[in-house]
Amino acid sequence: MADVKRTVDALWRIESARIVGTLARVTGDLGLAEDLAQEAVVDALAQWPESGIPQNPGAWLTAVAKRKAIDAWRRRDRLDDRYRALAHELDDSVAGADAWQPIGDDVLRLVFTACHPVLSREAQVALTLRVVGGLTTEEIARLFLVPVATVQQRITRAKKTLGAAKVPFEAPDPAEWRARLGSVLGVVYLVFTEGYAATSGDRWIRAELAEEALRLGRVLAALVPREPEVHGLVALMELQASRFGARVNASGEPILLADQDRTRWDHSQIARGIAVLARADGVGRGRGPYALQAAIAECHAIAPSVDGTDWARIVLLYEALGRIAPNPVVDLNRAVAVSMATGPASALAIVDRMVDDGSLRGSYLLPSVRGELLTRLGRRDEARSELATAAALAANTRERDVLLAKIAAL
């Protein structure tokens, strides 16, 4: 029985997007489609241990879910056109194993609907992982370190919200396309970066989250290959993930990029990331924020060492990124790159401007970088004071320890 469950879980990962997408198109209701698909999975778990796994398990699950949809309508006495149309389609699928044909756009509609703006980010993430990623609620809960009930509630609320807002099961209009696609990419990247947020004890969870995000990204890339930012995001994730093996030491403490053992980077993954970035460029519509970030990651990935890094190029990329996606963290990263390319004095000028502007107030990042630059300029007393400020603002003990160590080294 345990084997059947694992097989059904595996099948759900492979088939869920297509099944739920098709059902959602037929019923016009994503929430209902997900419910029906789940009921079909329950039936599979009950029947397949005895009857064996069917030849085309995806078609089996869809046909069972459709039958349940019709039963539900029958019970509600809705003898209208939709019922008749469904009944007709069901006859087709019973007639021949391959008569059931999903439409290519179903998964795309599913992705956009699961990431609809009426939903909170958490709801988008949970729903997308559930119906597009095909994860079980237990798996989602484990990956985000929240109770299973919390995930179930998020998904239930998400479905109700979609129903209440009467969100149609459609891909967005051209006018909304860019913004909506950005939202989808944001959901995928959030799944990926949750991995960065995990503590050292969960490094394997972090790797799993990264894999899930990469898979979602690749699915998107196959759905909308003419969108350069989709490839840009996949490239960014491949390149960032390539460093996971070197980011944490044996005791679980994080290691900064500059100190990482580069032989522990996954060089196959780096090659893949570079190839995908080239694919983004190949679309010929320039580089958006994700592709630019990927290009910066590429500069690090191909460099043999910190000193051997093309910092001047990184500065240019951060300048471009800062113009199209203004963000104080980008400015700070640019300052760090400038300090490597030109020297700490030029970088300090940038950081001082940010301080005057009140950027990143309350964050340890700005005083941390300022302290580092002052250290390199030999202004030790000022550095000490700045790093102490940063340590006091540090968000957790790990960050604080790193800063305190820098003070001690002065």
Least distance to another protein, CB of residue 86, Å: 27
Pick 41 or 407: Cβ nearer another protein: 41
Tokens coding 200: 């050292």
Pick 299 or 391: Cβ nearer another protein: 299
Pick 144 or 364: Cβ nearer another protein: 144
Burial degree of 344 (CB within 10 A; 0-12, 13-18, 19+): buried
Residue environment code for 346-366, b if the CB has 16+ CB neighbours within 10 A, otherwise e: ebbebbeebeeeebbeebbbb
CA dihedral 347, 349, 353, 354 (to 10 degrees): 20
Pick 87 or 224: Cβ nearer another protein: 224
Least distance to another protein, CB of residue 351, Å: 33
Q: Distance between CA atoms of 264 and 261, rounded to whole angstroms?
A: 6
CA 324 to chain centre: 21
Least distance to another protein, CB of residue 360, Å: 34
Q: With contact defined as beta carbons under 8 Å apart, do 27 and 19 qualify?
A: no
Q: With contact defined as beta carbons under 8 Å apart, do 322 and 330 qualify?
A: yes
Which residues does 17 contact at the CB level (< 8 Å), separation at least 6?
Answer: 107, 110, 111, 131, 132, 133, 134, 219
CA distances from 313 to 306, 309, 310 (A): 14, 9, 6
Pick 9 or 319: Cβ nearer another protein: 9
Q: Which residues bind another protein (CB under 8 A)?
A: 3, 6-7, 9-11, 13-14, 204, 207-208, 211-212, 214-219, 221-223, 245, 250, 262-268, 270-272
Pick 33 or 220: Cβ nearer another protein: 220
Nearest CA to 127 among 161, 79, 171, 86? 161
Least distance to another protein, CB of residue 270, Å: 7
Pick 3 or 77: Cβ nearer another protein: 3
CA distances from 239 to 216, 265, 268, 309 (A): 16, 9, 10, 15
Least distance to another protein, CB of residue 37, Å: 17
Q: Distance between CA atoms of 331 and 322, rounded to whole angstroms?
A: 7
Least distance to another protein, CB of residue 364, Å: 31
Least distance to another protein, CB of residue 324, Å: 27
Least distance to another protein, CB of residue 289, Å: 22
Q: Distance between CA atoms of 26 and 40, rounded to whole angstroms?
A: 16
Q: With contact defined as beta carbons under 8 Å apart, do 19 and 58 qualify?
A: yes
Other CB atoms within 10 A of residue 54 CB: 15
DSSP secondary structure letters along 340-368: HHT-HHHHHHHHHHHHHHTTTTT-SHHHH
Least distance to another protein, CB of residue 267, Å: 5
Least distance to another protein, CB of residue 10, Å: 4
Pick 157 or 262: Cβ nearer another protein: 262
